[in-house]
Amino acid sequence: MGVKRYWAKSDNTITNAYEENLTTRGTGSNMGASDILEVFSIYAQASSASAEESKALLKFNVTASSKSIQADRTAGTIPASGSVSFYLRVFNAKHGQTLPKNYTMDIAAVSGSWQEGTGLDMETYKDKGESNWINRIVSRSAGDHAWSTEGGDFYGDSSSSFSASFNAGTEDIDVDITTLVEQWLNTGGNVLGSKEDEGVGVFLSPSYSSASRSYYTKKFFGRGTEFHFKRPCIEARWNSSTKDNRGNFYYSSSLATPAENLNTIYFYNYFRGQLRNIPDIGTGNIYLSIYSGSSTDTAPDTSPLTLITDGTSVAGGAPTFITGGYVSTGIYSASFALTAASTPLSTLYDVWFSGSSPGLRDNQYHTGSIKPEVLYGSAIAPSTEYVSSITNLKSVYRGDESARFRVYTRQKDWSPTIYTKATAKAEVNIVESGSYEIYRVVDDLKVVPYGTGSLLHTEMSFDMSGSYFDLDMNMLESGYMYGIKLAYYNYSVGSWVEQPETFKFRVESRQS
């Protein structure tokens, strides 16, 4: 699950625009209950040099004790700093007024606490309250708390201020604010620094807000909008794919680089259906050795095989032992390369164990098997086509669950004889680079577009059973049907190829 969204919990529009009389400014107005956020600058409306401005404020569930980024990081749902990116997403709201073009907006961390308020009036500015252009918060016991600077207090350092460009004017905001989110999360104040979790302001960059022309008006959907997928959010994106080579293990070959010759295999420690760390290992090292089969090829032989030394996982002084490591709760992995014998073994056995050093076995935890392959060159440029299916697809999912989808893939031109069709099934073809997309069927809205860029946040994992990915159904609006599309990277042509199959399911609330 490489995508997770955190919706805005407070938002507001603040302004110093003139009221209808073009004499009194609406600096005390509050629009915290509106389902629209508005950003503009108006030049020379009240006089030849008058200037009016509007800004949006947004705050998210970052450091709350539950249902927050911080809580999910503590639980291991969100990766540690450096392994995840956070994007601010705010969506354009169409309107019939003049829409500016060719400008930029600043996105900056708010440097003080503020109240959302309950105002609605975005036209005549008759609803008063905090926060507004002058005040950020109201305390019944201590009176109003004003902004240090009218129009809001914002940090200006590069780690917590960003920009978004609008060429056509209709663009959404989709900006990487990772450094700021990490500052909100970082109460210890390491190299990134630390800031109070008070959200962001969105406003026209000074060169545009102070220009002798108007930029009126850009509107965004606020958190109160009826359109589920248009609500402002912070979207966490990370590559969560696990690439377990147990099902596509290759002997070392001069056709590949040393790094390409490494195979990574995994050991999953499940206890009563839940992943658990091995008590004697915890998050430390685990060891394994590779064996040929016994005379009946049903168990490991007595002596481990000699491996290719790499100075890291396989030491020169102990080339029969691999040092593996901790991946996440209950999951351990190890990487190594192995040269084939003159007659390559058809089955390898991996034995995982603990020890104070690689040569000392204290506890043996697991024995697995591997069907290795020999890497060959080719006289033609392959153009492989696949047939895919999701083997565990349900027709309905609850809106509060996370689901794992298992993808089975075989070559399209697999053509068994009558005998093989009666006695065997097609082997799984491991697709090493596969991605998924989620869309809403009724209007083809891309809810989770393919993440095939630098982050690869929708890249699928794979193991010996095929590909798989996890999806947080809380991101999807209940009461609708959704579709899953798959794309596989074709190394022959150097691009992603969308597959023809579509897999559909509904999301319903628990009550439904």
DSSP assignment of 93-130: ---SS----SEEEEEEEB-S---------SSS---B-S
CA distance 109 to 86: 14
Whether residues 107 and 12 share a domain: the answer is yes
**Domain assignment of residue 204, yes or no:** yes
3-state secondary structure of 160: coil
pTM reported for the whole predicted model: 0.92
Whether residues 112 and 157 share a domain: the answer is yes
- Cα of first residue to Cα of last residue in the chain, in angstroms, is 25
Cα 395 to the center of its chain, rounded Å = 25
Whether residues 256 and 393 share a domain: the answer is no
| Residue after which a domain boundary falls, among 237, 268, 296 | 237
Whether residues 327 and 417 share a domain: the answer is no
Whether residues 80 and 229 share a domain: the answer is yes
The answer to whether 439 and 430 are in contact (CB under 8 A) is no
CATH number at residue 481: 2.60.40.1930
**Domain assignment of residue 316, yes or no:** yes
Bridge partners of 286, per DSSP, are 324
**Domain assignment of residue 376, yes or no:** no
**Domain assignment of residue 500, yes or no:** yes
| Residue after which a domain boundary falls, among 208, 237, 266 | 237
> CB neighbours (10 Å) of residue 474?
16
* Contacts for 275 with CB less than 8 Å, ≥ 6 apart: 268, 269, 328, 329, 330, 331
User: What pLDDT does residue 359 have?
Assistant: 62
Whether residues 281 and 203 share a domain: the answer is no
Whether residues 76 and 136 share a domain: the answer is yes
Q: Which of 43, 53, 50, 41 is nearest to 23 (CA)?
A: 50
**Domain assignment of residue 381, yes or no:** no
**Domain assignment of residue 333, yes or no:** yes
Structural domain boundaries, residue 486: 386-508
Whether residues 141 and 62 share a domain: the answer is yes
| Residue after which a domain boundary falls, among 186, 218, 237 | 237
- The dihedral region occupied by 97, where left means phi > 0, alpha psi between -120 and 50, and beta the remainder, is beta
**Domain assignment of residue 341, yes or no:** yes
Which amino acid, one-letter code, is at 132? Answer: N
**Domain assignment of residue 122, yes or no:** yes
Whether residues 132 and 207 share a domain: the answer is yes
Whether residues 73 and 196 share a domain: the answer is yes
pLDDT string in tens for the chain (512-residue length): 899 999 999 999 999 999 999 999 999 999 999 999 999 999 999 999 999 999 999 999 999 989 999 999 999 899 999 999 999 999 999 999 999 999 999 999 999 999 999 999 999 999 999 999 999 997 766 667 999 999 999 999 999 999 999 999 999 999 999 999 999 998 655 556 889 999 999 999 999 999 999 999 999 999 999 999 999 999 999 999 999 999 999 999 999 999 999 999 999 999 999 999 999 999 999 999 999 999 899 999 989 999 999 988 998 888 999 999 999 999 999 999 999 988 899 999 999 999 866 566 779 999 999 999 999 888 887 778 899 999 999 999 999 999 999 999 998 876 665 555 554 556 789 999 999 999 999 999 999 999 998 899 999 999 999 999 999 999 999 999 999 999 999 988 889 999 999 999 999 997 65
Whether residues 208 and 184 share a domain: the answer is yes
Structurally, the chain folds into a number of domains equal to 3
Read off φ and ψ for residue 71, nearest 5 degrees: -65, -40
3-state secondary structure 315-332: CCCCCCCEEEEEEECCEE
Whether residues 333 and 414 share a domain: the answer is no
3-state secondary structure 57-80: EEEECCCCCCCCHHHHHHCCCCCC
The answer to whether 234 and 3 are in contact (CB under 8 A) is no
